[in-house]
Amino acid sequence: MSLALPLGLVWAGAAVTALLDGRRRCVAWLAVGVLGAGFVALCVLQAHVLVDGPRTIVAGDWPAGVGIALRADALGVVFAVLSMGVLLAGLAYEVVDDLESRHTPALVLFMGAGLTGVFLTADIFNFYVFFELTMVASYAASTYGGERHQIGAGFIFAIVNLLGTFLFLIGLAAIYTVTGTLDMDGVGFALAQSEPTAVALIGVSVLVAFSIKLGLFPFHFWLPPVYVGATPGVAAMLSGAVANVGSYGLLRFGGDLLPDLFAAGAGVLAVLGSASIVYGAIQAISRRSASEVLAYSAIGQVGYVLIALAVGGPVGYAAAILYAIVNALNKALLFLTARVRGWLVGACFAIGALSVAGVPPSAGFFGKVELFRAGIDARSAVLVALIFLGGALSFVYMFQIYQRDFWRDRHDTSGGRALQVPGVLLALVVLGLGLWPEPLLAVSREAAATLTGGQR
Amino acid sequence: MSSVVTRVVARMLLAPILVVAIAILVKGFADVGDGFSAGVVAALGILLQYVTLGREEVERTLPVRLLPHAAFVALLGALAVALVPLSRGDPILTHSPPAGAEVTTVGKLELMTAVAFDAAVFVLVLGAVVGIVHAVARAYEEMEAT
Amino acid sequence: MTLAFALAAGVLAGSGAYLALKRDLLRVVAGIVLIANAANLTLMASGGTRGESPILPVEGEISDPLVQAMTLTALVIGFAVIALLLSLVYRVYTGYDTLDLDELSKEEARHAREIDQQARDDDDVAEAEGR
């Protein structure tokens, strides 16, 4: 199977659903089906990549180095599978909840095509193009629901993220000036021999650009209104799928293309990450409504990814990848279950909450374990203490929501059985990965090995 | 509303603009030009109609409301050109006939998949721009009405 | 030549940043447009130092065609994004009857307070019932 197939499939599906009225049930389910097919195709691709190693195709049969390449390696493909799965769950939730806008299924499919492209391209300019496809679709999707404050939040979201995008574009121009190539392998090779000052400027613009997408502490201010205003399915997609672009971008550009610079700037990354963790946790504890707590929790949780990146090396990168995966699943699960009621959903929300706090038997436990390993590997007592403190704080705020919203059974507005299904499935995934974490650990180590040149 | 002269001139200019656009599209393989710039030129022609005649008249007399839909069909066409080579085991976007091979020609137009791809890009750009122009024009009318 | 590009891009980005900090939403969008074009200009300039054609060798000095293709793509993306931004501005205008960023943030703060108050009221009700 070719690695262009999932990309083409979802893209073509997006074009077809854009022509049809997405409010009609059959069209909406067609979109869900296309995403499902894309998800299955990506899973098959992942199995191939893990067994046979990375795959590359060069468009138009041009020689490598001239043509534009698509490449599936362990790092890209794991993020692609994750994002497509979250999009699938989020769209299924919205479809069950009755779509109000004819464009939503097409927008989600365009988002899926963009994300697949971002994770499977080997060309930095194509990375930008697919990245913009994803972001434009998500600006539009973030206003789904049409409430007044949502549109205001969506506007700020678009403006701030566009500034980040253009900063990335300037960084990209700088990369091309310095290296004269766009192929990721070639760029990494050429940057290693370039003048450090130029490389430092590139690194800063890339770091700021992806920090804005992730919503890290000093660049976070657009995030809470968007996540609070969005409908549960869209919030799950934004936090669980679109935000992956930020983590992946930092891993790919930081770990793969600028490893020396990120090693030198580890202190900056650690400070930014710690600030995010502390700020997110304190804000989350002081909030009352579930969606606000989750939004601030999202700011805090990405801080761990940055801390693991600061540690670097095989252990640090593996921890960063693992935590990014677990965090995306947690956030999607929590947003999808926070506004539905019933004992089953309550249990699912509890699994998500335990996972955020890092309590076994949830996938989040292994995320935290890997972070501790990274902290010990870096011989930093401060990092270990910070991770512990952050975990304790997240336990407090997660169970504040749980106590308020689920123990007191006052919201008896349970919205149908079917609305629970996406959340329950995600909860099973989180629980399953907590009980049998070996595949996840193996995948994240394999993905980290692509960054460190085969070192485990 | 614009004067009679501008309205007549705008109407008269539409056909030549479209001819120029098609010319840019088809000569793109031997000379300067491609589907993208052809699409922009054609879209400018339609935009001129909107500016001088007003949205309602343009949409009554020309089939412009179909163009945004045509854009998505064109996107499907472009994707088809990109993906069909996969079925033969070639990488995406492999054009046929390959470089150096004999090409069937109709008049001076060479028939190859790259032409189909560019034609799709032409319709895609035209449709997208017209869709945006339509949305802006309608929003403006709504604002005037209130 | 590089200096000219650098100056032009710097002036564009600076004016864009100035406009983006204004309160009027349309000025903010205009600022984003200028910053986008500063990025495009930087992209154009990135090919200026090399004179190599990637495919066909030609006699004499030529400039790198790849950056022009990239800039064209970036311009188109910028165009789409600006259309989207303008439509968002329009929706803001029809929703709020204002194009003032301050009004927008006041509304946002009001909404945040409302959510918080709602949650607190619910808490009070639940506590009263619990007793």
Q: Are A209 and A249 in contact (CB under 8 A)?
A: yes
CA B53 to chain C, closest CA, distance in angstroms equals 22
State how far the Cα of A74 lies from the Cα of A45, in Å rounded to an integer. 10
Per residue in B4-53, pLDDT tens? 898 899 999 999 999 999 998 887 776 777 888 899 999 999 999 999 98
pLDDT of A412 above 70: no
State how far the Cα of A20 lies from the Cα of C16, in Å rounded to an integer. 39
Q: Collapsing DSSP states into helix, strand and coil, what is residue A342?
A: coil
Structural domain range at position A334:
265-456
Per residue in C101-125, pLDDT tens? 888 888 878 887 887 788 778 777 7
Question: Mutate which of A142, A176, A178, A195 to disrupt the C interface (most C C-beta within 10 Å)?
Answer: A176
CA C22 to chain B, closest CA, distance in angstroms equals 23
Residue B132, chain C, CB below 8 Å: the answer is yes
Short-list A104, A77, A83, CA closest to A23: A104
| Res A33: pLDDT | 94
Tell me which residue has tokens 């009001």.
C110
CA C66 to chain A, closest CA, distance in angstroms equals 10
Chain B residue closest in CA terms to C73: B36
Beta carbons of C43 and A66 less than 8 Å apart: no
Beta carbons of C20 and A159 less than 8 Å apart: yes
Helices (H), A259-380: 259-264, 266-286, 290-311, 313-337, 343-357, 363-377
What count of residues does chain C have? 131
| Res C8: pLDDT | 94
| Closest partner CB to A5 (pick from B76, B86, B90) | B86
Q: What is the ipTM of this complex?
A: 0.90
Q: Collapsing DSSP states into helix, strand and coil, what is residue B16?
A: helix
Residue A81 covered by a domain: no
Query: What are the C-alpha distances in Å from B109 to residues A10, B30, B78?
Result: 33, 10, 19
| Res B1: pLDDT | 57
| Res B74: pLDDT | 93
Query: What are the C-alpha distances in Å from A57 to residues A260, A361, B93, C15?
Result: 29, 40, 11, 42
Q: How many structural domains does chain B have?
A: 1
Give residues 63 to 102 of C whose Cβ lies within 8 Å of A: 66-67, 70, 73-74, 77, 80-81, 84-85, 88-89, 91-92, 95-96
For residues A119-148, b (16+ Cβ closer than 10 Å) or e, as one string?
bbbbbbbbbbbbbbbbbbbbbbbbbbbeeb
Across A9-13, A141-145, A332-336, C25-29, least confident range: A141-145
Selected from 3.40.50.720, 1.10.287.3510, 3.40.1410.10, 3.30.465.10, the CATH number assigned to the domain covering C2-99 reads 1.10.287.3510
Q: HSE (CB half, 13 Å, CA atoms) of A91?
A: 32
Beta carbons of B139 and C76 less than 8 Å apart: no
Residue A120 covered by a domain: no
Q: How many structural domains does chain A have?
A: 1
Q: Collapsing DSSP states into helix, strand and coil, what is residue A3?
A: coil
C94 CB neighbours in chain B (<8 A) are 142-143
pLDDT of A45 above 90: yes
Chains in touch with C (≥3 Cβ pairs < 8 A): A, B
Structural domain range at position B48:
4-145
Say what angle helices A74-96 and A438-451 make with each other, to 10 degrees: 130
Residue B69, chain A, CB below 8 Å: the answer is yes
Q: Collapsing DSSP states into helix, strand and coil, what is residue A71?
A: strand
Residue B110 phi, psi dihedral angles, 5° rounding:
-90, 130
Residue C128, chain A, CB below 8 Å: the answer is no
State how far the Cα of A334 lies from the Cα of A290, in Å rounded to an integer. 9
Chain B residue closest in CA terms to A17: B72
State how far the Cα of B4 lies from the Cα of C73, in Å rounded to an integer. 39
Beta carbons of B73 and A57 less than 8 Å apart: no
